[in-house]
């Protein structure tokens, strides 16, 4: 199958902040704390994006840089040490402390790497202190996770030469991770490890016998760093929908030499449930026209799922940047005549959306409300990383995320 032509576009971009990755990362790594070194704006963003429950104490906070810090009139490191001490005194259960860079900390050239080294010495034996950048200066908000996982890599032990293992890379909700574990067990594939892990004591080991499957399409730099440590990347579509999940699992069974009959037998019950759940959503989505604006890097696999399994018509699919290595198995599954765009000139793309008037536009938070005001139905792309959407059992839920705004729009017209 031939892949569609890729059009490149440059200009003004509308992107969300990489700090939002903390919202799903802090839920996944259950003994980690994310300390953002930023401004009050950073703190408000996290509180808004996370929808923090009043009676819950989240495992993230913001060390707020004041005007004196930004003007170079105060010792930021001194204040950072004080806040870190308070956090660790209050939360003795924390095993990993992430110092997370933001736009303000990068503007004043605050060296969080040095700060992490210094605090690691202070708290040696009690807590790991790591750093990474999640500023809004990146191309896509999901790059925050990629940077976080790269910060973890030096902590991963080396797997003995010749020992085979499967490493799943990219954050998965616990319920989805458990579903995949059961499937791999039934298929006879193991040991299977996940990055990021649920706890700091469960870091996976990596070596030349490690085979790697990506669960998310935005962890490219992490994948390439793991390849340098000897891991082998298995090429596969991403596990969204029935087709993507089956092909993803098949990449692992092929590597393990497991017969296709075994794969079909193990997955048949889950596929039957997924097809039944998808049938109703397909009735709502089939024939509807959809446009993806670049935001999450999930655009291509989501478009493939909606077009091939839900019968939607793809008007345009745009992604912040296109990693050819990570999309090698996805691109041939798209219609060859698709308008596929890498990058963004936001005004030109909005003009195309207004001219095409699709039934649904998937975009970032900053563009959704203006488009809704113009009578266009939208779906926030950030929901696709906040919600369990991987695997067979979530296929209907994934389709429903796109059907819901269409149903709401129909009700508003009544």
Binding-site members for [4Fe-4S] cluster are 17, 42, 103
Q: Are the CB atoms for 367 and 284 separated by under 8 Å?
A: no
Rounded-to-integer distance, Cα 340 and Cα 337, Å = 9
Tokens of 344: 């963004």
Rounded-to-integer distance, Cα 310 and Cα 170, Å = 25
Neighbouring C-beta atoms of residue 238, cutoff 10 Å: 26
Residues 111, 116, 122, 124: what is their CA dihedral angle, to the nearest 10 degrees? -160
Distances in whole angstroms, Cα of residue 23 to Cα of each of 45, 50, 147, 173, 385: 11, 6, 15, 12, 10
Radius of gyration of the chain, Cα coordinates, nearest whole angstrom = 22
Dmax over CA atoms of the chain, in Å, equals 68
Neighbouring C-beta atoms of residue 132, cutoff 10 Å: 23
Task: Identify the three-state secondary structure at position 313.
Answer: strand
Q: Are the CB atoms for 218 and 142 separated by under 8 Å?
A: yes
Binding residues: 17, 42, 103
Rounded-to-integer distance, Cα 407 and Cα 205, Å = 46
Neighbouring C-beta atoms of residue 84, cutoff 10 Å: 23
Cis peptide upstream of residue 335 (ω within 30 degrees of 0): no
Q: Are the CB atoms for 153 and 308 separated by under 8 Å?
A: no
DSSP, residue by residue, 185-215:
HHHT---EEEES-SSGGGPPPB-TTEEEEES
Task: Identify the three-state secondary structure at position 150.
Answer: helix
Tokens of 202: 């469960």
Q: Tell me which residue of 323, 316, 305 sits closest to 358, measured CA to CA.
A: 316
Q: Tell me which residue of 157, 147, 50 sits closest to 99, measured CA to CA.
A: 147
Residues 242, 247, 248, 249: what is their CA dihedral angle, to the nearest 10 degrees? 90
């Amino acid at each position: 199958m031939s892949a569609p032509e890729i059009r490149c576009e440059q200009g003004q971009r509308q992107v969300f902040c990489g700090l939002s990755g903390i919202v799903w990362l802090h839920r996944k790594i259950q003994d980690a704390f994310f300390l953002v070194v930023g401004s009050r704006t950073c703190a408000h963003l996290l509180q808004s994006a996370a929808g923090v429950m009043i009676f819950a104490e989240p495992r993230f906070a913001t060390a707020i840089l004041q005007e004196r810090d930004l003007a170079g009139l105060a010792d930021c490191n001194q204040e950072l040490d004080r806040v870190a001490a308070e956090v660790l005194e209050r939360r003795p259960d924390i095993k990993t402390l992430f110092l997370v860079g933001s736009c303000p900390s990068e503007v004043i050239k605050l060296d969080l790497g040095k700060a992490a080294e210094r605090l690691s010495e202070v708290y040696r034996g009690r807590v790991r202190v790591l750093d990474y950048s999640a500023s809004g200066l990146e191309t896509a908000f999901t790059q925050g996770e990629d940077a976080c996982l790269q910060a973890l890599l030096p902590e991963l032990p080396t797997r003995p030469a010749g020992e085979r293992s499967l490493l799943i890379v990219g954050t998965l909700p616990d319920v989805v991770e458990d579903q995949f574990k059961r499937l791999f067990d039934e298929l006879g594939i193991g040991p299977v490890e996940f990055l990021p892990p649920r706890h700091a004591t469960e870091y996976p080991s990596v070596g030349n016998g490690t085979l790697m499957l990506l669960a998310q399409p935005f962890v490219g730099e992490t994948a390439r760093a793991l390849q340098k440590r000897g891991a082998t990347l298995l090429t596969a579509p991403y596990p969204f929908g029935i087709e993507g999940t089956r092909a993803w699992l098949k990449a692992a069974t092929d590597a393990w030499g497991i017969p296709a009959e075994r794969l079909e037998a193990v997955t048949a019950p889950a596929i039957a449930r997924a097809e039944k759940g998808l049938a109703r959503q397909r009735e709502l989505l089939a024939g509807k026209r959809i446009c993806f604006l670049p935001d999450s890097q999930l655009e291509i696999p989501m478009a493939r799922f909606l077009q091939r399994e839900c019968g939607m018509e793809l008007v345009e699919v745009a992604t912040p940047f296109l990693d050819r290595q990570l999309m090698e198995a996805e691109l041939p599954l798209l219609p060859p005549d698709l308008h596929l765009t890498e990058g963004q000139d936001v005004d030109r793309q909005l003009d195309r959306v207004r001219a095409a008037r699709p039934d649904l536009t998937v975009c970032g938070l900053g563009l959704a409300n203006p488009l809704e005001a113009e009578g266009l139905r939208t779906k926030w792309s950030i929901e696709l990383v906040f919600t369990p959407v991987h695997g067979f059992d979530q296929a209907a839920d994934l389709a429903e995320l796109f059907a819901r705004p269409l149903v709401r729009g129909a009700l508003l017209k009544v």
